[in-house]
A and B are shown apart, each in its own frame.
Chain A
């Protein structure tokens, strides 16, 4: 593949990588660092990519490895309530009802309060549709750890949503 094609293929994945990185990092500048590092690594390692594999899955794998490295350097990364601070406006534009919007805002908060490794596994499996084996590869952990983290993550979000003061009962 020529360089132009490579760069075009990578550029096409940028929006998906950005939103993923923001959800994961909960901090816009950290998210942008992750995306930049991921792109740089993808270019360096372009020849290692399986030509018949999914480019996006490969990029997410790099992104998650990069995130792990960042985490080792910066254990106490700041956590903001929404990835980019524009959540309610964005949802309103998508025609989501006020009730659902409230619930989603609480979900966003509950998700943001998860430990980063639990956010990672939920993003990969629940949002991106990775299999457990693919998620294990992306996060460089055993499948058993994927299962336990995922199970803890979902349960924790559920518990947070069902706390008194949450609106989940009103909308289900």
Chain B
């Protein structure tokens, strides 16, 4: 695909998450090389966001329900917290990144960790374009990503650990759309939370991978994979993860 193939319709399809991961990657490369298209994409996103504010009923908390039996906002990982196992450093937990081999649960989990770590590495370097939608529009962000992933998702607050939500973005992988939320502390260290569909159906224990000083804590639950990625020491990452689960297990949800 070359620059002249980058039609307006393709740009729109990219914006709306209608492309396959391979196509989306091609289009993203072309857009990055073309300032005019990049600017247009940003304006289009702003228009979409504005329309959602105007007509999207921001006062209505429930995103468009897509299936019966869907969990409500704020409760999507409670069942996991109830039976959370921390398999830190256990065999199979380390060094799975980039593992090729026959399909299996470990590989699918590691795939989520790989995707999340790669996305983390790419976007934490960005300043102006670190996120698509900033934390100022968090309601819109959560609703938009919930609609795209067909799952109620949000970014749990991590302010007690000095991390504020920067915002989030939609990404694509082989399972379809993915969500990335980014947090930052006063030292400009960044954490990301990555969520997408998983090829595995089984709920799994919490696991961790490490690559070039970046750790990914990840798990699979009800068909979705989740990964918290950051450069903090293992004990700190663990403390943040535990605190998040403690908060979410409480009756306030």
Contacts and interface: CB of A to CB of B under 8 A. Distances in A.
A132 to B, nearest CB: 5
B54 A107 contact: yes
B253 interface: no
Interface stretch (B11-19, B95-103, B152-160, B222-230): B11-19
A105 B189 CA distance: 37
B65 A55 contact: yes
A167 interface: no
B72 to A, nearest CB: 14
A147 interface: yes
A129 B147 contact: yes
Contacts of A15: 57, 60
Interface of A: 15-16, 19-20, 22-23, 51-57, 83, 87, 91, 94, 96, 103-104, 107-108, 111, 122-123, 125-129, 131-132, 147-148, 150-151, 154-155, 157-158, 161-162, 168, 172
A148 B68 contact: no
A104 B54 contact: yes
B1 interface: no
B90 interface: no
B22 interface: no
- For chain B, the bracket of interface size reads 20 to 34
B3 interface: no
Contacts of A128: 56, 64, 147
A83 B48 CA distance: 17
B60 A111 contact: no
> Looking at chain A's contact residues, is the secondary structure mostly helix, strand, loop, or mixed?
helix
B57 A16 contact: yes
B51 A147 contact: no
Most chain A CB atoms below 10 A, which of B7, B8, B58: B8
Contacts of B48: 126-127
B132 to A, nearest CB: 14
Contacts of B63: 129
Given A16-B57, A107-B50, A147 B40 contact: no
Contacts of B53: 91, 94, 96, 104
B50 A147 contact: no
A155 B56 CA distance: 20
Shortest beta-carbon contacts, A-B, top 8: A129-B147, A23-B55, A126-B48, A151-B8, A107-B50, A147-B9, A151-B12, A151-B9
A123 B148 CA distance: 15
B16 A125 contact: yes
Nearest to A60: B64
Contacts of B7: 151
A41 B53 CA distance: 29
B64 A157 contact: no
A94 B64 contact: no
Nearest to B63: A129
A127 B56 contact: yes
Contact of A154 (B12, B52, B55, B67): B12
Contact of A147 (B13, B44, B58, B64): B13
A111 B51 contact: yes
B46 interface: yes
A57 B68 contact: no
A98 to B, nearest CB: 15
Contacts of B206: none
B47 A158 contact: yes
B58 A129 contact: no
A123 to B, nearest CB: 7
B175 interface: no
B16 A132 contact: yes
Given A23-B55, A123-B55, A54 B67 contact: yes
B55 A83 contact: yes
B68 A51 contact: yes
Contacts of A94: 53, 58-59
B144 A129 contact: yes
Contact of B12 (A51, A150, A168): A150
